[in-house]
Structure 1
Amino acid sequence: MSVREKYELELQSLNNKIVELGTFAQKALDKSLIALENQNVNESIAIMDEDIKANRLEEEINDQAILLIAKQQPVATDLRRVIAAIKIAADLERIADFAVNIAKSTIRIGNDPFVKSIESIRDMHEGTSKMIGLVIEAFIEEDVIKAKKIAELDDEIDALYGQTIQELLSISSQKPEKLAQITQLSFICRYLERAADHVTNISENIFYLVKGTRYDLNK
């Protein structure tokens, strides 16, 4: 096996770990929404316990990327791939952290009946999960068209976030005794909105990987 072939295999292994971390983060976010809907404390605890896998995968990606740079001294496109992998891994691990944060809020809410329908939160989650799935595809295929689509979806999440927060603020003035729950629901909205922002960061790094240029897709 040539040096180049060995390098390509190592790079593919790095990419596979990125996809694994992305899939884990998406599933963690999905589980956190199910736990919230069912107000399931045990499932929320399980999400928190499982987060160690996301931390481990990010560490493995970082270690492997640094080793590739040290051993192969990649330049141009190859170097961009390695740098993008490190940045994307950090964003994916952060998304998994937001799933943990949602689980913690679910535990704090407990069995207290929701002050309002969580349909808009469900919609935010669905949109964010869709973005994660699309960004994983964009990364595998190095598809900047799909990466650009993610920024458009992020705008929809932002709009839902603003709408839901306004609804919660209105309820807080009517039901001040429910402020603790309203605060946690507001946090959950914020976690989903921030998760979507991190997906947009990943799409920007896909642009960097493919085009070699930085694009701000949040504008």
Structure 2
Amino acid sequence: MSVPDGTPTTMHGSHTSRDFETELRELRAHTLAMGARCERSLRLALEAFWENSIKLAAEVEEIDRHIDRDEMEIDALVLRILALRQPVAYDLRFLTTALKLVTDLERVGDEAVNISERAKEGHKEGNGIAKEQVLASLKEMSDQAQQMLRDALDAFVEGEATRAGQVLQRDDVVDNLYGGILGSMTEFMATNPGEIPAAIRVIKVAKYLERVADHATNIAEEVIFMVRGEDVRHVRTHPPPDAK
């Protein structure tokens, strides 16, 4: 069994081997490296979008290839540990959480690539004035989504269910920002038909950020399960019938 920082204990005899300890440390290190790559990819993608930078967009695509390899290598490592070590209790939850977490991280990488593609379109076609109409809200949304991802990953590293719970609470903020941007761009397009392609790019980037926040929320839910053994999925979205 392991404590939240990933250090194995000696509760189960089959889990005391140095090989098992090494495998868990390797998994934890590899997962953290993947998370750091995803954070960097998202940050660069947003910079590419603000600046219409083809160079930064190409860097995002290169990082995404590393992220895809990370996912496959971590999946293989987890499956090997499960097959050979037959872990139980916290170790088992840690391993199943890692499997789910890397799927969400890979999709964050995909969203970063989507944002970078909109940057390339902006470089080619120009963004007009659409971006400026919601610039403050879009930057706040990007800051919130990035912070949610960072906090969710930190919660995983530290085994902090409370911190993970705080990530869940911030998802509504991102959803509200997305709704405001969507409404503003819809009104803008009605009076500026020549700006429709640029406005649609803005809407798409906002949607990608909303999805990043969703993936951060998924990771936070997975951390709570890992630490407490408690499944909190759908609790906020599907309250009990007598909820007020």
TM-score tier after normalising by the smaller chain length: over 0.9
Partner in structure 2 of residue 136 of structure 1: 153
TM-score by length of 1: 0.95
TM-score by length of 2: 0.85
Structure 1 or 2, whichever has the larger Rg, is 2
Partner in structure 2 of residue 77 of structure 1: 90
Could you say which structure has the higher helix fraction?
1
Over the matched positions of the two proteins, sequence identity in percent amounts to 28
2: CA distance, partners of 1:194 / 1:68: 31
Q: Which amino acid aligns with 1:14?
A: L
Whether the 8 Å contact between 1:33 and 1:122 is mirrored in structure 2 is no
Whether the 8 Å contact between 1:131 and 1:196 is mirrored in structure 2 is yes
Whether the 8 Å contact between 1:200 and 1:218 is mirrored in structure 2 is no
Partner in structure 2 of residue 15 of structure 1: 28
Whether the 8 Å contact between 1:147 and 1:206 is mirrored in structure 2 is yes
Partner in structure 2 of residue 200 of structure 1: 217
1: CA distance, partners of 2:26 / 2:138: 36
Structure 1 position 176, deviation (Å)? 1.2
Partner in structure 2 of residue 102 of structure 1: 115
**1:114-153 paired onto structure 2 within 5 Å:** 114-117=129-132, 118-153=135-170
1: CA distance, partners of 2:158 / 2:59: 33
**SS of residue in 1 equivalent to 2:17:** helix
1: CA distance, partners of 2:149 / 2:23: 24
Structure 2, unaligned runs of 5 or more: 1-14, 238-244
Structure 1 position 76, deviation (Å)? 2.4
**SS of residue in 1 equivalent to 2:46:** helix
**SS of residue in 2 equivalent to 1:74:** coil
Greater relative contact order (CA < 8 Å, ≥ 6 in sequence): 1
2: CA distance, partners of 1:67 / 1:48: 29
CA RMSD of aligned residues (A): 1.4
Structure 1, unaligned runs of 5 or more: none
2: CA distance, partners of 1:137 / 1:122: 22
